[in-house]
Chains A and B, each alone.
Chain A
Amino acid sequence: MTSTIVFIALVVVLVVTSSGWPEVKEAFFNREIFRSSFGEIASAFLINVKIFCIAEAIVLVTALGVAVLRGLPGPVFFPVRLLAIVYVDFFRGIPTILLIYLLGFGVPALQLSGVPTSELFWGTVSLVLVYTAYVSEVYRSGIESVHPSQNAAARSLGLSHAQALRHVVVPQAVRRVVPPLLNDFIGLQKDTALVGVLGVVEAFKQTQIDQASTFNFTPGVVAAVLFLLITIPLTRFTDYLVARERQRRQAAGVAA
């Protein structure tokens, strides 16, 4: 504890006494600009929160769907499995920003009737498509980590494949993948900033606007602080769950 305090104090002293510190402070930590830009950026950040909440809720469901389709047994379902594999390969393989660019600018430009033209809509759709691919792999690893004997026990009672998944395999799989799932959601939360390239005024775009008028990077620091306020608690919570899961397993290992 003492060593930590001494170490941090040393670093702070070193930084603020270095020759370039006044310039750095002026460019990144301008108190006036921080105060004046905070309100605008904070309200723009609500757009990020909105994208995140909607996308996360959808991804939780669609990703499980893709993982289940990929695990369907038998030769009859080969085309479905293939489709799921192609989907995951494709959307995990392309840069997220490229997909946002393609869908966000491309689809509205087609002017198809009945198709939304909102950039916010297509930006969110892009994130859902990409993160469904990532998260379905997380689910899949969870499903595969449940020992086949569990499925055998369920099927031997007469449960169908779907019932065995629903009542026995998926509940165990989901418990195991909560930490990596949250990890992906931290990523999703940060990637909401990419929707800014479409001109949607979310936190990052608002930052650029403020920066352009003040020639100062403090608004960027404001946005960073806002993101950290959400991601750090989520990260700590994930760590806590990982530790708890490890403890639980060790306890179970001793009991067995």
Chain B
Amino acid sequence: MSDALRVEGLHKSFGKTEVLRGIDLIVAEHEVVCLIGASGSGKSTMLRCVNLLEPIDAGRIVVAGRDVTTNGVDVNSVRRGIGIVFQSFNLFPHMTVLRNVTLGPRKVLHTPASQAEAEAVELLTRFGLADKRDEFPDRLSGGQQQRAAIVRALAMKPQLMLLDEVTSALDPELVAEVLEVIRELAEGGMTMVIATHEMGFARDIANRVCFLDDGVILEQGDPEQIFSAPREERTRQFLQRIIDAGRL
């Protein structure tokens, strides 16, 4: 069985700033990996690279046994199998929730409209959004918008989900409902890579936690070990700052 995701020696620069300086990461099927680290440590950039939203400078990314960083790879077909959810939701404001969710299946998977709608309604119902299907995104709360964005990604039936700080733009009281959705996905066996600042959640849900620092994975391991007995001084400092801020 091949790994769901294999990242080898990934380098990425924006201009003269090297954001990723050699990332190596292997994610097994059904595994939930949380990426933690300070803002600017490269978490988001790494996820965007995996989804081919950012061209990489060096290294290899293999998704379900397929090297997606070789020349001539069909980026659209790669992205079809990978769902990504963004910090800022990025729902399409000119479409209803239902249309947001069915756009991908209809246009990319060529699912018949009636079937795409039926599947979308099923997902929306499962995540408590059935009554919002005909609303436009700006009529929804942040938590509802983010759940709709997750449903939009799930509608493509991805093998891998990338979550990029999906609760960072939410009011505190709306965080829980989104985390609940992610928890349900994890229990359902979805392979996920989650960049997050929610340490308690990461500790709770992750099979493995990776601490990113200055463009490399400085330390990774079992959540208990990372949070209670980090090996690296930088990890300790980072977690101490989180504890001082009352976030763990």
Residues on A close to B: CB < 8 A? 149-150, 152-160, 163, 167-168, 171-172, 175, 252, 255-256
Partner of B76 from the list A150, A159, A168, A256 (CB cut-off 8 Å) is: A159
- List the B residue with the shortest CB-CB distance to A174: B94
B contacts with A, residue count (CB < 8 A): 27
Complex interface: chain A residues within 8 A of B91 (CB): 153
Q: Within the complex, what minimum Cβ distance (angstroms) separates A80 from chain B?
A: 20
Partner of B138 from the list A160, A163, A255 (CB cut-off 8 Å) is: A255
Partner of A153 from the list B77, B90, B108 (CB cut-off 8 Å) is: B90
Partner of A152 from the list B53, B94, B107, B156 (CB cut-off 8 Å) is: B53
Q: Is B93 located at the chain interface by the 8 A CB criterion?
A: yes
Complex interface: chain A residues within 8 A of B103 (CB): 154, 157, 159, 167-168
Q: Within the complex, what minimum Cβ distance (angstroms) separates A81 from chain B?
A: 19
- Nearest 9 A-B pairs (CB), nearest first? A157-B104, A153-B90, A158-B80, A158-B108, A158-B79, A156-B84, A149-B90, A158-B76, A252-B138
CA distance A149 to B164 in the complex (A): 13
In addition to A156-B53, A158-B80, 11 A-B residue pairs with Cβ atoms within 8 Å of each other are A152-B48, A152-B90, A156-B51, A156-B83, A156-B153, A158-B76, A159-B104, A159-B107, A167-B103, A167-B107, A168-B92
CA distance A255 to B137 in the complex (A): 11
A-B contact pairs, 17 of them (CB 8 A): A150-B92, A152-B53, A152-B90, A154-B92, A154-B103, A155-B79, A156-B84, A157-B80, A157-B108, A157-B152, A158-B77, A158-B108, A159-B76, A159-B108, A163-B108, A172-B93, A172-B94
Those of B70-124 within 8 Å (CB) of chain A = 75-77, 79-80, 82-84, 86, 88, 90-94, 103-104, 107-108
Complex interface: chain A residues within 8 A of B84 (CB): 156
Complex interface: chain B residues within 8 A of A155 (CB): 53, 75-76, 79
Q: A163-B107, A175-B94 in contact; A157/B156 too (CB < 8 A)? A: yes
Complex interface: chain B residues within 8 A of A159 (CB): 76, 103-104, 107-108
A149 touching B86 by the CB < 8 A rule?
A: yes
Q: Within the complex, what minimum Cβ distance (angstroms) separates B30 from chain A?
A: 22
Complex interface: chain A residues within 8 A of B79 (CB): 155-158
Q: Within the complex, what minimum Cβ distance (angstroms) separates A251 from chain B?
A: 8
Complex interface: chain B residues within 8 A of A171 (CB): 94
CA distance A149 to B93 in the complex (A): 12
- List the B residue with the shortest CB-CB distance to A152: B53
Q: Within the complex, what minimum Cβ distance (angstroms) separates B14 from chain A?
A: 14
- List the A residue with the shortest CB-CB distance to B106: A167
Complex interface: chain A residues within 8 A of B90 (CB): 149-150, 152-153
Complex interface: chain A residues within 8 A of B153 (CB): 156-157
- List the A residue with the shortest CB-CB distance to B149: A153
CA distance A141 to B200 in the complex (A): 44
CA distance A172 to B138 in the complex (A): 14
Complex interface: chain B residues within 8 A of A168 (CB): 92, 103
Contact with A along B119-144 (1 / 0, CB 8 A): 00000000000000000001100000
Could you say which of B83, B91, B104 has the most chain A C-beta atoms within 10 Å of its C-beta?
Answer: B104
